[in-house]
Chains A and B, each alone.
Chain A
């Protein structure tokens, strides 16, 4: 089961004929993802990566029953691509694109509020349900099936954390890359809610980073409602204030943005913190053993 995506999820790729779109679509198919269609305006009627290409998302949905959109379009067109998928009634949209203007995302969030579409990203590595479905760009080989959910703002830190878990024989349920931008579709808190309700997830590894206050909001939820152990790492303890550390969202402005403040909020909510990124796996193993989950 897990959350968001599984072996039956019918995936549509927007930007399937682009360089990254086509390469990643192949990797998704190899992983076992059920890719049913692609969309590139003006290329309708062609075939790409073995699936039909459509001009419009709405037609692709009608013809193929696609229920999850994976977006690889360049940043100036990302907001439009997300809204096209939402207008077509797509339940889940995963936007990988990095570099979308914040103002565009404000409008997207506003337009999607109250609607039935869930957005993951943008600027994210996507979602993967281990052994079943990869909707994104994560290297499938490091994942193994199990019951630890992973939530992360960063892509490469998911690989790092999951690799450490897999090497210790700890498998994963669903890994959700929520994205590194200041405005994202699904927040850490919302991702936690999903995994909290998922019978296949026994514990959660949460990977945050400096900037914003999303980790504090996640901590408030954990303190009140989380029924499963959470292990967290916060990247950027050594980052200087006022500088954007790669991710548009990773900039310390104000006290809430610091790693120290985030760790304190999470620790207060009962989360076990791994101070070192090299010890996420070891920390998770210790917590799982203490809780009798391993």
Chain B
């Protein structure tokens, strides 16, 4: 799960990470007031989940409350397009107004999990303010890493090591080491999957602060973090995905193609999308129905898929292990009877209770296109989508 910059900063600040003074506004008038309270000079930052906000025109400097009001009125309500939003962009509802900093150096700092070593890793770079992927590709030696034992945590010598790598000394080094310890604590205690400060800045008056912040959280750990779950912004998510979640279908991702997919199992769902692509088509979604032996859930899933105006055909691919094919078949039948527009359905059914499932579909008399295997199913779905 993702959160906004201002939310990440609130969490980090609570753990002792210094951040600039500031507050959020949802109207230009509010922005003006906040700017005045900060002394006039400030920065107005669009709050959307996607990165690259500055390049898209979502971050503006203001030197007076008037300028802050003007900047906020330009940013609020805009469809901010960045390299991460897609061409349609994301509407800005909130801006963060912060004091301007007299920045001396821009650094990079992050904590994430390294799957290969099964340990948290803290990464730092003197090349802050840039996309870290770019730094990693062009100058991998500019990225410094320390591997952290999850039992002992970030030991002072590890923090010092990164500080020295970054060329920090004296009081700045002490501040940065303290900030690193606070960042690590926030990462661990909130079950984050990423905590990133880019840039981490040193100022002309000798302070070390998080000028920007990003936190992603482990969805599997949200059950013990209601306070994190409460930060979820549904407006940042695709409406059909939000609807799917409300119906208990958590593994649904909307895509751009015209062939809807309903599959059991995440791996098979990905493989089904791959098959569609290999057959010359484009999947309209990823959907893992898992082992929901529940007809209503199958009907809901098919209804959500069919509601996408791009969808010209639906491919149902079920290899029943724990999932029962007869339940899926009943769901297909009910959904097809309810559908307002006739969308061809291609079904490849195998595994547990397949005979019963086949019988139900045959007796329904509905025009479900059958396929014996995955390759045939994909080819037939692509053909049906083209003909529709």
Chain A interface (Cβ < 8 Å from any Cβ of B):
20, 24, 75-76, 99-107, 109-110, 125, 137-139, 142, 152-157, 159-160, 163-164, 180, 182-183, 207, 209-210, 212-214, 217, 233, 235-240, 242-250, 254-255, 259, 275-279
Kindly identify, within residues 337 to 388 of chain B, every residue whose CB is under 8 Å from any CB belonging to chain A.
350-352, 373-376, 378
Q: Which of A103, A104, A160, A217 contacts B116 (CB 8 A)?
A: A217
Interface status of B87 (Cβ within 8 A of chain A): no
Residue interface mask B270-290, A partner, CB < 8 A = 1: 111111111000010010100
Q: How far is the CA of A207 from the CA of B151 in the complex (A)?
A: 33
Smallest CB gap from A153: residue in B:
B267
Q: Find the B residue at minimum CB distance from A212.
A: B115
Given contacts A154-B270, A249-B115, 8 further A-B contacts (CB under 8 A): A75-B220, A101-B218, A103-B191, A103-B218, A109-B118, A156-B268, A163-B350, A275-B278
A247 contact set on B, CB distance < 8 A: 266-267
B residues near A246, Cβ cutoff 8 Å: 251, 265-267, 269-270, 286, 288
Q: For residue B133, give the distance in angstroms from its CB to the closest CB of chain A.
A: 7
* Chain B residue at smallest Cβ distance from A78: B220
Residue from the set B84, B120, B271 with the largest chain A CB neighbour count within 10 Å: B271
For B320, list chain A residues within 8 Å (CB). Answer: 139
A250-B267 Cα distance, complex, nearest whole Å:
9
Does B253 lie at the interface of the complex (its beta carbon under 8 Å from any beta carbon of A)?
Answer: yes
Give 11 A-B contacts (CB < 8 Å), ordered by A residue: A76-B223, A102-B113, A105-B118, A107-B151, A110-B151, A154-B271, A155-B321, A156-B264, A156-B319, A239-B270, A255-B137
Name the A residues within 8 Å of B149 (CB-CB): 110
Whether B221 lies near A101 (C-beta < 8 A) is yes
With known contacts A157-B268, A245-B286, A278-B374, A102–B193 Cβ distance under 8 A: yes
What CA separation (Å) do A257 and B347 show in the bound complex? Answer: 31
User: Shortest beta-carbon distance, A115 to chain B, in Å?
Assistant: 14
Which residues of the partner chain A approach B248 to less than 8 Å between Cβ atoms? none
* Residues on B with beta carbons closer than 8 Å to the beta carbon of A75: 220, 223
**B55 on the interface (CB 8 Å rule)?**
no
A155 to chain B: closest CB distance in Å? 6
Decide if B102 is an interface residue (CB 8 Å cutoff).
Answer: no
Q: Is the CB of A245 within 8 A of B269?
A: yes
In the complex, what residue of chain A is closest to B264 when comparing beta carbons? A156
* Alpha-carbon separation in the docked complex, A16 to B378 (Å): 39
Tell me, yes or no, whether B188 is within 8 Å of chain A by CB. yes
Q: How far is the CA of A157 from the CA of B352 in the complex (A)?
A: 15
Closest CB-CB distance, B62 to chain A, in whole Å? 31
Q: Which residues of B contact A106 (CB under 8 A)?
A: 113, 118-120, 150
CA distance A159 to B263 in the complex (A): 13
Q: Which 6 A-B pairs have the closest CB atoms?
A: A154-B267, A246-B266, A156-B265, A278-B375, A277-B271, A156-B268
Q: Does B224 sit at the interface, judged by CB under 8 A?
A: yes
B322 at the interface (CB under 8 A from A): yes
Chain A neighbourhood of B269, CB < 8 A: 245-246
Name the distance in Å between A100's Cβ and chain B's nearest Cβ: 6
Residue pair A101, B191 in contact (C-beta under 8 Å): yes
Task: Find the A residue at minimum CB distance from B113.
Answer: A102
**CA A24 to CA B291, docked complex, whole Å:** 13
Q: Known: A212-B115, A279-B375. Contact between A100 and B273, CB under 8 A?
A: no
Whether B255 is near chain A, meaning CB under 8 Å from some CB there, is: yes
Identify the B interface with A (CB < 8 A). 84, 113, 115-116, 118-120, 133, 136-137, 149-151, 188, 191, 193, 218-221, 223-224, 251, 253, 255, 263-278, 283, 286, 288, 319-322, 350-352, 373-376, 378
B115 is contacted by which of A103, A137, A210, A213 (Cβ under 8 Å)? A213
Are A155 and B270 in contact, CB atoms less than 8 angstroms apart? no
Q: B350 contacts which chain A residues (CB < 8 A)?
A: 159, 163
Chain B residue, CB-CB nearest to A243: B253
Partner of B266, one of A180, A212, A255, A276: A180
If A75-B220, A163-B350, A278-B375 touch, does A237 touch B277 (CB 8 Å cutoff)? Answer: yes
Most buried by B among A110, A164, A244, A277: A277
Asked if A210 and B322 make an inter-chain contact with CB atoms under 8 angstroms apart, the answer reads no
B150 pairs with A110, CB closer than 8 A? yes
Contact status B373-A278, CB under 8 Å: yes
For A156, what are the chain B residues with a Cβ–Cβ distance below 8 Å?
A: 263-268, 319, 321
Do B118 and A160 touch across chains, with their CB atoms under 8 A apart? no
A206 to chain B, nearest CB (A): 13
CA–CA, A18 and B263, complex, Å: 26
Interface pair B115/A244, CB less than 8 Å apart: no
How far, in whole Å, are A279 and B378 apart by their CA atoms in the complex?
Answer: 13
When distances are taken between beta carbons in the complex, the residues of chain B under 8 Å from A217 are 116
Residues of B near A259 (CB, < 8 A) are: 274
Residues from chain B with a CB closer than 8 A to the CB of A20 are: 322
Chain A residue at minimum C-beta to C-beta distance from B320: A139
**Chain A hits for B277, CB < 8 A:** 237-238
- Complex-state Cα separation, A275 to B268, whole angstroms: 14
For A277, list chain B residues within 8 Å (CB). 268, 271-272, 274-275, 374
Question: Do the beta carbons of B221 and A102 come within 8 Å of each other?
Answer: yes
CA distance A127 to B264 in the complex (A): 19
**A221 → B minimal CB distance (Å):** 13
**A235, B118: Cβ atoms under 8 Å?**
no
A238 touching B221, Cβ below 8 Å: no
Q: What are the residues of chain A within 8 A of B120 when measuring CB–CB?
A: 106
Bound-state CA distance A277–B266 (Å) is 14
